[in-house]
Homo-oligomer: A and B are copies of this chain.
Amino acid sequence: MRGKGKAVTDLSTEEKIKEAAGKVFTQKGYAATRTRDIAGEAGINLALLNYYFRSKQKLFELVMAEKLEKYFGVLAPVLNDASTSLETKVESIASKYIDLIIENPELPLFVLSEVRNNPEHFIKLTEKVDFLNQSVFLQQIAKKRPDIHPFHFLVSLLGLCLFPFLMKPALLRIANLKEKAFIDMMLERKELIPVWMKAILKTKSVLPVIQNKRLKL
């Protein structure tokens, strides 16, 4: 049945559906998404969706892989750059992540939710690339603060960048912010976070040093 057809048209329709699926899935999550919503959003008939992608699940997996790639794609190249300082890396991650999420505000909640629901997606993505554990970034941190597990700092950095987007709906309400003011705050954070991370990395050790928590490097 399904042929390759004219490449341009083919790609266009297929892409249109995938685009719509990306939008609806990220907004409502897998379970709350109806294939009819996607079809409607794409301006096509429901059957066409299954014609192109066989099933909701298959379509979702395509979208998910793309979103995961987007979400973690910011990190990978920076973390393993041996030619930049730790400070530069922090600046780069904060800046790129915040820009990315301003353009894709629902990405973090979507990825975190669906990774929890279907860890296998995330596992498949990471099983090939062990980019993180042996990364230059973590080594640079470990060198500076051998007393604290380096993931403390990575998680803190990501939390400072991403968490505001996660609590954005709540924040807009309780802080009485408008959309524009929120974006401005996030842009401010591109400058604030590197300063803060620097300060955090400089703090005096407070943890008991009973166990040696240094990574195997």
Kindly state the separation between the CA atoms of A160 and B197 in the bound complex, as whole angstroms.
12
Kindly state the separation between the CA atoms of A133 and B176 in the bound complex, as whole angstroms.
8
- Contact-size category for A: 35 or more
**How many identical subunits does the complex contain?**
2
Q: Is the interface of A mostly helix, strand, loop or mixed?
A: helix
Against B, the Cβ 8 Å flags (1 = close, 0 = not) of A121-149 are 01100100000110000000000000011
Tell me if A192 is interfacial: C-beta within 8 Å of chain B. Answer: yes
* A199: B residues at CB distance < 8 A: 196, 199-200, 202-203
Chain A, range 151-186, C-beta contacts under 8 Å to B: 151-152, 155-156, 158-160, 162-164, 166-167, 169-171, 173-177, 185
Tell me if A113 is interfacial: C-beta within 8 Å of chain B. Answer: yes
Tell me if A207 is interfacial: C-beta within 8 Å of chain B. Answer: yes
Give the contacting residue for A206; candidates B106, B171, B191, B202; CB below 8 A. Answer: B191
Give the contacting residue for A200; candidates B155, B169, B177, B200; CB below 8 A. Answer: B200
Given contacts A175-B151, A196-B203, A207-B191, contact A156 B160 (CB under 8 A): yes
**A174/B126 in contact, CB under 8 A:** yes
**B28/A28 in contact, CB under 8 A:** no
Tell me if A188 is interfacial: C-beta within 8 Å of chain B. Answer: yes
Q: Which residue numbers of A lie inside 8 Å of B, CB to CB?
A: 28-32, 106, 109, 112-113, 115-117, 119, 122-123, 126, 132-133, 148-149, 151-152, 155-156, 158-160, 162-164, 166-167, 169-171, 173-177, 185, 188-189, 191-192, 195-196, 198-200, 202-204, 206-207
Excluding A151-B171, A158-B167, A199-B202, 12 further A-B contacts by CB distance (< 8 Å) are A29-B31, A31-B32, A109-B113, A115-B169, A116-B169, A119-B173, A122-B169, A122-B173, A132-B174, A148-B188, A159-B162, A159-B163
Task: Please name 26 pairs of A and B residues whose Cβ atoms are closer than 8 Å in the assembled complex, sorted by A.
Answer: A30-B32, A32-B32, A112-B170, A119-B169, A132-B174, A133-B175, A149-B185, A151-B177, A152-B188, A152-B192, A155-B163, A155-B164, A155-B167, A159-B159, A160-B160, A162-B163, A163-B163, A163-B166, A166-B166, A191-B206, A191-B207, A192-B206, A196-B199, A196-B200, A199-B203, A200-B200
